[in-house]
Amino acid sequence: MEILVYIIIGAAIFILSLLVGINIGNKRIISTLKTKKEELEVEIKNKQKEIEKLLKKADEEAKALKQKELLEAREEIHKLRQQFDLEARQQREELKNNEERLIRKEESLAKKEENLEKLKEKLEAQHENILKLEKELETKLNEIAKMTEEEARQIVINEARDKYEKEIAQKFKEIKDYYEDESKKYARWVITTAIQRYASDVTNEITTSTVSLPTDDMKGRIIGREGRNIRTFEKLTGADLIIDDTPEIVVISSFNPLRREIAKRTLEMLVADGRIHPARIEELYEKSKNEIQEYIKEVGKEAVIRAGIKQPHIEIIKLLGRLKFRTSYGQDVLEHSIEVSQFAGMMASELGLNVELAKRAALFHDLGKAVDHEVEGSHAIVGGQIAKRYGEKLEVVNAIQYHHNEVDPMTPEAVLVAASDALSASRPGARKETLENYIRRIEQLEEIAKSFRYVDKAYAIQAGRELRIIVQPDKVEDEVAEKLAHDISVQIEEKVQYPGVIKVTVIREKRSISYAS
């Protein structure tokens, strides 16, 4: 029991000491908090003073900025006022100028009104004249209504021609002289050089061949019983046999040189063999035809070698060989083609152009003549198509088709081919024509010349190579004569077929005669 009391007393003492300690700690904490509070209050007062200073400073700066902006605004207002005054002054000046212009316009309008009045009076006078002219025109229209359309058209053309013919002729002469002065010299030199360098025999083909017979008795065997041998021969060969009184001679006639040559070889073999009957004729005809085909191939190869070009397709070589048996105005077409090739090569060399292209196109330019009626179209176009089919270049094809001006030229070599073709055809003696065709061409030339106005007389001379025209000197001046010569030459090119070149000469001669008594 006593122990319990001691324990309780001890616990009470411990609790009291603990409470005393807690009280002392609280006092210290309170003291510390008071100290912190005082420090915070001092710091807050310091911050308030700083804030007041900053506010005061900010207020001062705001006042300074406000003052500065007020100054700038005043300056801007001053500038705007000056600009406004300047614009206002300019507008006042512009208004003043507009007023002055309006015044001047009013004065001008007043003058124009006066002029209009005067013009009105003139128009009224002109109106009266127009009424008179209308009456005159009605009279003329009544006269014109009686004319045909062609007559009226001719009247208009004649009036225009009379008015402008001299001016057009003068301009034509100026242009012609300008372009011809230099071109003539060089073209003449190139062509002359080519002609001088080329030398060729003049050969003409005929339409008949003769075969010599050992005896006149052979003629009867050729005719055969009731003419069966000669009928078979003519049917197979397509050539005519002329057996007349000429001793030991038989004439073979055909316009186709290839058929005539086959017929000649067949007949020569028949005569040499002596056995003449329809079966033998057929056999030897086939043999002759095969020999001619081989001969054609060899001739074509020889032509390519003579022209000096690269080997073409074998079919082109065969067609070239067939040209050996074609003629144009009596001229061997193959020889003509080789000649054209050599001319074109020489001129291309002189001009610095493609010699191979010029020679190749020139050699092939008449290929179309080798197929005759087998293909429709002109020989120039057909020849170009054949060359294209067998792998020739487009430039070669174009030159072939151009040589008769049926297409436009793509290269200078194409023009050379056409010029070389004309040179070869126009050489003296190169070609011949029948008397009937010659006379018709001469008459046609003279008729074309006489169809032009102011032409008095026209004469075709130099075997149709030159046309001399005599004009009325009092109606045709020198400039008009130049234009007339050109127009006639154009008409001849369009309407007349001829080899070579035709020279057109217009002669204007004025003779003044007086008599003294």
Tens-place pLDDT, residues 358-367? 899 889 888 8
pLDDT in tens, 312-343: 988 888 888 888 877 765 567 888 888 888 88
- How high is the pLDDT of residue 394? 92
Q: State the average pLDDT over residues 424-442.
A: 61
When mean pLDDT is compared across 105-119, 184-198, 466-480, the lowest value belongs to 184-198
What is the mean predicted confidence (pLDDT) over 459-477? 81
> Under CATH, which number does the domain 206-295 receive?
3.30.1370.10
For residue 188, pLDDT over 60 is answered with no
> What's the topology of domain 434-507?
GMP Synthetase; Chain A, domain 3 (3.30.300)
Mean pLDDT of the region 449-476: 83
Higher-confidence position of 231 and 172: 231
- Closest by CA position to 183, among listed 492, 175, 502: 175
Q: Helical H runs in 377-467?
A: 379-389, 394-402, 412-426, 435-450
Q: For residue 204, what pLDDT is reported?
A: 40
Report the C-alpha gap between 324 and 274 in whole angstroms: 30
8: left (phi over 0), alpha (psi -120 to 50) or beta: alpha
Element (H, E) at 96: helix 2-145
CA distance 327 to 364: 15
As given in the structure block, the two tokens for residue 410 are 């793509």
Output 417 or 257, whichever has higher pLDDT.
Answer: 417
CATH number among 2.60.20.30, 1.10.3210.10, 1.20.1090.10, 1.10.10.10, domain 308-430: 1.10.3210.10
Contact 250, 219 (CB under 8 A): yes
How much is the pLDDT for 330? Answer: 58
pLDDT for 467 equals 87
Q: Domain limits of the chain?
A: 206-295, 308-430, 434-507
417: closest CA among 395, 445, 392? 395
Mean pLDDT of 29-33: 77
464: which DSSP letter?
T
pLDDT at residue 303 tops 80: yes
Residue 373 pLDDT > 60, yes or no? no
